């Protein structure tokens, strides 16, 4: 049962319990603070071995514009990672002739 004031009422035995529904907090950071946070994240990724390239950036931009879903972007990156891993394993294996 819903009330008109953003609260949900749930039946509990013979009584109703009113649960207050809260909104997520708004991000009050300035664009400069958001950019600095993004730069820190990218710096951290670079430290871990991530190298940004034009292809990856294009996929990120498509996801931001809504042309592809984030799930599709994740699937693309996962597929590329698996291919990269297979290539690395193929180089490490000794070739049997």
Task: For residue range 29-88, list pLDDT tens digits in order.
Answer: 888 998 888 788 877 877 777 777 888 889 888 888 889 888 898 899 899 889 988 988
The residue extents of the domains of the chain are 52-92
The model's pLDDT over 58-74, given as tens digits with 9 standing for 90+, comes to 988 888 888 988 889 88
**E-assigned strands of the chain?**
7-12, 15-20
Q: The tokens of 22 are what? A: 């809260």
Helix axes 70-92, 54-65, angle to 10 degrees: 160
User: What pLDDT is attached to residue 24?
Assistant: 74
pTM over 0.95: no
Do 9 and 2 form a contact (C-beta atoms < 8 A)?
yes
């Amino acid at each position: 049962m819903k009330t008109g004031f953003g609260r949900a009422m749930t039946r509990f035995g013979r009584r109703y319990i009113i649960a207050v529904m809260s909104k997520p907090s708004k991000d009050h950071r300035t664009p400069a603070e958001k950019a600095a946070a993004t730069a820190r994240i990218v710096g951290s990724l670079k430290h871990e071995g991530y190298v940004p390239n034009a292809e990856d950036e294009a996929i990120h931009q498509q996801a931001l514009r809504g042309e592809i879903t984030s799930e599709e972007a994740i699937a693309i990156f996962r597929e590329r990672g698996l291919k990269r891993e297979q290539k690395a394993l193929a180089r490490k294996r000794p070739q049997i002739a």
